[in-house]
Every structure is written in C-alpha cells, then in structure tokens.
Chain A
C-alpha cells in the first residue's frame, strides 16, 4: 500500500514537473502545441472527407504517412545503439545517456502509432486490430506482427525508463533482476521492430522494387545511422538547456596537475572525514586500516588542478575541508558541473572503471584532500554502506561528455559506410541486370516515360549521404560543429532515402504498368508536421521530467512529507536550484 502511494507521489510530481520551466521552455512547448493543433485540425478535415484530401490514389496508395512511419521505426530501433555499447561492451561514458535514447524511442514509437492511425481509412475500427477482441491475422500478416512488436517495444521502453527513474528518485541503485533482462530483450526487440517493418515491404511478391532481401539490412544500417545522429543532436540540446552555469566562466591554461607533497594519511583523517560522511563511522576497524594503504593527505592551495579531464589516473579523492569545482569541456566552452564540499567524493569513476577523468577538478580556496588509490577505494567499498554511497555518487551525474558524443560518432560513421555500401548493392542489382523489374528504380533515379518527380529527391539524398559519410570519415568531424552538420545531412538523406526513395517508387509504375505520380497535399503535410510536433512535445516533456530526477533535484528525500503535495513554486525552486551537489550531500549521504 505504501509502495503504491509512494509510486503515485512519484508519478504526480513527475507529471507536474512537465509544467515547470522558464520562458524558453514555455515558448517551445507553446509553439509545438500550436503546430499540433494545426495538425489536429487538418486531421479533423481528413476524418470528415476521407483520405481524398491527401495526394494518395489507388495507384500510389501509401504516401508520406507511411514514409514517416518507416523512418521513425528506425529512430526508435536506434536506441539500442546506446544500449549495446553500455551493456554489452561496458562503455561507461554512455551509461548515463541510455535513458535519453530510450525516451527518444518512446517518443518515436508514439509518432509511429500516430502516423499509422492517420493513414487508416477507418480509424474508428481500430479495435479490430486488438488481439483477443478483434480479429487479428497473426502470424499471417506482417502488419499484425508490426502491431505486436511496436506496442511491445513501447511497453518495454516505458517500463525500463520508469523503473530507472523511479530507482533514481528513491535514491536506490536499480536492481539488476528487474531491469537487465529487459534491457537485453529490448536489444533483440529493437532489431525486430525494424526487421518486421522491412518485411512489410519485402513480403510483397508483386512489387519487385521492395521484394528484395537487402531491404531489412538496409533499413537497419540506415536506422543505426539516422538514430544515433538524432541522439547526438538531441543530447547537445539537452546539455545546453540543462546547463546550470554560464559557459566560459572559467578558463584555465593547461598546466600539469599539481598537488604538491602529501603526507601519509592516518586514522585521524578518516575521523575528520566521518564528521561530514556519517556512513564512514560504521565502517569496521579492519576495513579502515586496510583502506589507508597508500592513502595520502594533501593541502592544496586555491586554483590548483587536482584531476584533469581526459587524463588516465586511478586515484580518487575525498574532500576533508574546502570546496572543489568540477568543470567539464563542452565543445569550445567550459562548464562547472558540480561543486563539492567536505565529505564529497570525486575521481571514483576513473578509479573504479579505469576510464579517463570525466571532469577537471579545481580547488576553490584552500582545500584538504584525502587521496585513495583505486585499490584502497575498492577495499573501502567492501563495506556495504560505503559501496552504495560510492555507487550512487557515480550514478548521480548526468554527464553528457564530448567523449560520449564521439563514441556515438563512430557508430554513425560505421553505420553510414555500411548504409551507403548496401545502397550501392541495390543500385547495382537494379541497373546492371537491366530487367523489367528495374522500372521503379529507373523511375526513382532517372525518370521513366517522361515522369521525373522523384529524381531531385533521391539525388539530394545521395549527395547528403555521401557528404555526410566523407565528413564522418575525416577527422574534422571530431569537432562538434562539423559533426552536427554531418548528422543533419545524414538524417535528411536517410529520411528521403527511406521515405520518398523507398515507399513511393514501389508504387510507380503500378503492377499494370501505369504511371501515376504522387505529391503530398498541404493538408497531408500539416498532419505530418502536427505529428512531428506531437513527438517533439512528448520528448521535451519526458526530458523535462527525467533530467531533474536524474540529477537528484527531485527525489524522495525532498518530498514535502506524507500526504502533502509540494506546490508548483516549490517544485520550480527545486528544479532551478543551482547545485545538484547539495542534493548529493543531503540525500545520498544521510
């Protein structure tokens, strides 16, 4: 009962978080809302008059709705490109970012479902599609498979996101049993949603343009290009709008880290630390002794660099007195991500994972530090409380590092090369054989019987894809600006390639050789914009809820007391509170 109530409180606070933000947030949400309503209005017209208000015909019976649907299934599937490196290859940089990918998947699937719904001639009969209630043609129809895998994928991702956020909200480490199995099911499931969507087309023997075994691999390659590209852009937006101090506030010339000479640490130093870190008091004498092996205490003057972002060292530091600023490089600028006070811990990620430093630590005033080698920190963590304390300290940070973005870059890079290669395979098969089955491809690339509508589209896509590929291969795209341009080009190129380049030409010419072209109408496009706005709105709101919870600003610890609701003003104050470090100290350490 209490668990239910606690979960409901979490939900209600999360939902109310969606209404908290600054003027930029309201402007953005308001603008998206307006576009949504325009789309809704256009859809109301379509509902009344039928699909005649679209550019579709009996000849070209699917259009931009299904094209967008196909593209977005790929975006949803691409969330695994964050999950696989983290859970299969243990990439620590991306671990915190998985949830952004999964929330994007949720938003993308919602858009997919919306696009399929607006494409239906009889949306009022949606219940015919419900297994058990309607008359579900499973496993015969690939579309029924799609209904199963898409809704399953939605539930899977909603569950994983909600569980991770709720654990974070409660200040617990997520229990592996409740979540890792679903993550691995999700990986397979993600591949399945795009494979099934490809099979929608591949399974049609009467459409030689689609009836090609390479479509599913091509779909996956293009999805794993466009999806992570979209995530790269989205993460930078998240990073910018969640920044809690002005960029460029600090600039430090590159000097070696300078700690000066330390002295050997003793038990009395642990006692000093225990004043600020009550959990340490309960640690057994034995462990205390052991962890002091190799431990040193440093008195550091103001402005000194203790650790440097990107360095590979494995010491960790507890603050005995004074303040330390954690600063990260983001693109061209620097940002203070945390301010640590006595009792605070830093350097533990590098110590425990061997990964390069995630931030630069600079002293703010004279500081006394206790330095523990990695091995000593591990010994200390044999104590259960210290273990969860260190772990939660690690988990409590939403670090969108440049390195994480560059890891995604290499995924986009490889996928794009494979995508272009597979496209080349397709093009070779269509044109070298010169069979009559190449009619659609001929129409797409060069025009057929005097019809040319798709040529500018596909050549734009090819130029975009090739340019993006070259940019991604060259080292210049290690600069975020270039990487962003490459990502935009890749997204545009793949959207065209899968939409106007795959769905539409499959219908032209018709199986009876008739040439009828397709151009979307204004009403049709308004509906598409409406759905895209709806999806962006969903993603925005989901992030609005998730980020403060991930950063520990909203947690069980700052609930207003049993049965009480905190006012919106209080929520706002929590979200806007500068320092996540405060929440760190107060919630995790007590």
Chain B
C-alpha cells in the first residue's frame, strides 16, 4: 500500500460536491469535514472557557477588593464548568479525531450513518447556542455550578431551565455519535480486520460510544425533571413537596461519572496510537489495553456515588462505592504501565506528539492517583468540596484529556491538513503550558489540603500566597495555549507541505495521502496482521 499513490482525486479540503464554499462545509456529510467543523467550534468554546477561568483567577488575586460580586463569581464558575465540560471535554477527541480518524483507521469510506453524523454537529451547535442564550435572558446566567444540584437549582431565580435545556440538546449530539461509531465499528471494518486486529484508538472509541448511549439518556431525563420541577413543581426533588435532593444527586452522577470516562478514554486511545509510532515498535500488551478500555467503561458505571460520600447516604452505600472506586483505578493503571513498557527498547523518535503524550502520562497519573485518595472515605470527608477536588479533576480533564487532545492534534495534524507545523514553536509553547499548568493546579491540591473551599469568590488571608502562585501559573498556561494554537492556526494555511506519512506510522490512516481524498481509500485494503506491525525493526 503506497502512501503516495498518484492522486487523481482531490483532497477532502478542496473537493466540491453538491455545495460550494462555506455551504460545502456546513452541509457536508463527509466525516472529515464534520470533524473539522467540530474542531473549529470546539476550539472556540475552549477559549471561551479559558477566558472565564482566566477571569476567575484574577478575582482570586484580589479577594480583598471584591473585583466582582459573589453572584457574578457563581455565574462564572458555573459557566466555566458548563462550557468546558459540555462544549469541549465531553465531545473531545471523540468528535474531532473519532470522526476524522475512525473510518480511516478501520479502512472505511465514512461512518455508518453520515447524515446522522452531520446532524450530531448541528445538535451540538444548537445546544451550545441555547446554553449561551441563558447568559443573556431571564434573571441572568445560572449560578448553581455545572452540576445544577437540587434544591438550589429548583429555587434559584437565574436562568436554569434554558441552560439545562441546552445541555439536554447537547446530549443528543453525544448519543447520536455513540450510535454512529458503534455501528461503524461493527459494520465497516476492512476485510480481515477482526476486533483484535483493530487499532487501539477505535477500541477506545468503541468503549466510549457504549457509555454515551447508556449513560447520556439518564442525564437527559434528570435535566428534564429539573425543568418540570421548576415549571410545574412536580415535587421529585423539592423537599417541601416530599422530593429528595439526594435522588437528584444519584441520577445526575449516574451519568456524570461515566461521563468522565467518555472524556478520558478517547485520549487514552490516542496515546496508545502515538507511542508505538514514536517508539517504532508495537504496543506492549495490546489485548490488555483493548480490554482495559472496556473494563473502564464497565467499572466506571459502578462508582458514581463517590461524589456523594458526604451527602448523607447510608454508610453501607459509602462502603460499597468506596470499594468499587478503588477497583476502577486498576485498568487505568494497566494502561499506564503498558505505555511505559512500549517505550522500553524502542527506537525513540522525539517529536512534539511524543512530548505531549509523555506529558499526558505524567499529568494523568497525578490526576488518577489523587482520585484514588479521594476514594478513601476518611480522606474524602476532609477533601470534599475543597480545592483538592478542583486540582484533581483539572489534572485528569485538562492534563489528561486536554493534553491528550493536544497530542492527538499534533499527531494527526499532517494527516488532516497535509502540512507540518513549525516544531520548535510547539516546543517553545510547551514550557509555559507545562510549568504554568503545574503551578496552577498543584497549588490547588495543596490549597485543598489546607482547607480552602471550592466555589468561593473570596478567601481567607492565610491562603492568599498560594492563590497568587496559582494565578501566575494561569498566566503562563494561557500564554502557552495562545502560542500553541496560534502556531497551529498559522500552520493550517502556511505550514510546510508534508509527505503523506511524516511519522512513519503503520496504521491504515497513514497508508493514504495527506490530506486524504474524499473517498479515503482508492481500494479498501485487506488486513492480514495486527495494527502495530513494524516489520523493519527486529523483535516486533
């Protein structure tokens, strides 16, 4: 399979089908164009979320001068959470790289339901618009935190119903993508590609898709109940009518805990692709990693109430969920060990994707380990609702999924755009990103252990120094992010044109031209080996 077969077909970037120009992008059912639509919109929302976070850190710089009111701060952290979680991290690598790479990596021409795929993007945009409208209408933006806990979410005058309805609509985007990817993986694998010859990124997408279709409906119905409670007073969550706020928490976390695995699994899948390529050897423990993705999906659905240890649940439930939480760390740990083992005795090609993949492993490990601590009941009593939790989830969601997203972007950039970015600029960006990240979030772990509560617009003087350190970290981080995305943005249009396979990858997506032609493969390949077959290197 030559990487540079004579291109008689135009690439997906240039080709003009039924529609031309902008409409050709907005109405395209080509999975590659849908992926770009997601990429552009999600990066926009990411920077909206970053800006809000930046302002929040400025507020904490000067708690004594009350830069803004407490009410505004409540709205800020709510919005930061909603935008980041629902508009960036949850769609995440699934929507961008899942869409772009999945059909390529399994030897298909598109996903199973291309029109449904485009519809998913429109649900995403409509949901986002509705959620953003909630900022400007009614009695102002929601102030409950992104978790919309009852009874406050039932009682508050702010625009909860509209915001929550926006999230409801976003849920459809997630569910439809899940349906599409499961069907794609079952039906459209190339001849000879059994499940255990499938690369690890599709494996992670498969596990993620199952979580999407099983868990998202529960969130949908929970949010619907909030809307009905606010509009009609049905009494399910309102204690004044016999309702139970704990029921809300259970139903909310039944989705929102599996949601964090929706966030991380695709990132882990991308890392499993990147490491073999830059070690130029096969992944260590392919089957273990594939099956660990499924285990994480299954176990991750059993641990939701570890968010509720201090909420008033029964002691028995506390025990059960603490035990299950300890178990869910195991498959993740298996992945980390296997990744590191993959590098051992590999022929290391140090490139930007590898740098970010290694950063992922480091940052995700910190995040994961702090999670295990929180699973210990006696520890959680002290740490719940402190900055420790905030530090923890930023390590996993940002250090994990975020850096995983950046790594994947750096890895598949030449594939997607047929150009290479200036590598030195990326290395330069990495330093403030990595250092700033740790200054910002490690400090939060310390603050939390010292007792600083989360979602407070001000703080006691004893915490002030640490907050200043964190805020300075945030400036470095944001500077790095701007440099990073600025470089990539430039490279999309002006980057040096590259050969089809600059990283010498061996999976199917690297066997076709970059950028790919519309139909992906001239001829659907027949697969005869496992995915990470590096024949030139001895011993693989």
Report if A and B associate in a common complex: no
